[in-house]
Amino acid sequence: MRYATEFLTDRRVLFLLSVSTVSFIGTLTFPLHTMDWLALAGGVVVWYFTEYIVHRFILHGILAKVMPKAYDGHARHHSHPEELKYLLTPNHYNIPGYVFFAVVAYLVTRHFDTTSAFLLTLSLSQIYYEWSHFVSHRPIVPLSPWGKWMKKFHLLHHFKNEHYWFGVTNATLDVLVGSDPEPSTVPSYSTADKKRYGEHGKSADGDGVFQEPSHDIP
C-alpha cells in the first residue's frame, strides 16, 4: 500500500490520470463507432512504439542531441535508479507531448470523441509503463509471472548492460530487432553507482531500498 500511495500521489501520475479521466468522459460523449474503436487500438500501438523508440534512440542513442536535457535526466536515473525524482516521466515532457498528440489526432479525425478515445488508451498505456518502471525500482514482487519476468528484464538493462533490453512493459521489439541478447554473451556495462547498490543492483548497505534481482524470479 505504501508504494501504491507513493505512485498514485505523484504529480506526474496525477497528470496522466487526469488525461485518462477527461479522455474517458470525452470518448463517451457519443456512441462508439468504428473510428473510435480504431482510435482506442491506435493509442496502444502508438505507445508500444514510443516506449521503445524514445528509450533506445533518444535516451540512449543517436537522437540524444535532439533532447539533451532528457538524455541527462535519464543518465541521472541510471546513476541513481531508485530515486523517484528521476523514475517517472517529467510533466515538462508529458504536457507538451499530450498537447501534440491531441492536436494531431484531432486534425486527422476531426472528431472530439475519437481524439479522446486515442488519448484514453495512450495515457492508460503510459500509466501502465510508469507503474512497471516504478515496480522495477522498488522492493516489490510483481503478482504475475509476466511482471516478474519484465522486472528482471529491465534490471538487466540497468545492471548488466544499458545498451540492451530497452523494453519496460514488453520485450517484443527487443526480440525483433536483436537488442535482447543472451546476458552471458555481452560485457557488463552499467553507470549505476556500485558503491550504493553493489553488484547486480543489490543494495550495498542492505537497507532494503533496492533488492532486485534477488527475488525469486524464473
Q: What local confidence, expressed as pLDDT, does residue 196 receive?
A: 45
Q: What percent of the chain has pLDDT over 70?
A: 87
With residue 105 as reference, give the H or E element that holds it.
helix 91-109
Quick check: 190 pLDDT over 50?
A: yes
Coil, helix or strand for 161? strand
Q: Output the CA–CA distances (angstroms, integers) from residue 185 to 60, 181, 182, 188, 218, in the order listed.
A: 20, 7, 6, 10, 19
pLDDT at position 109: 96
Q: What is the pTM of this model?
A: 0.87
| Virtual torsion, Cα 87, 89, 92, 94, nearest 10 deg | -160
Candidates 66, 63, 90; CA nearest to 77 is 90
| CA separation for the pair 79, 178 (Å, rounded) | 25
**pLDDT of the residue at 192:** 61
Model pLDDT for residues 116-168, shown as the tens digit of each residue: 999 999 999 999 999 999 999 999 999 999 999 999 999 999 999 999 999 99
Place of cell 536483436: 178
Question: Percent of the chain, pLDDT > 90?
Answer: 81
pLDDT (tens digit per residue) in 5-24: 999 999 999 999 999 999 99
DSSP symbol at 56: I
**Cell numbers for 62:** 543517436
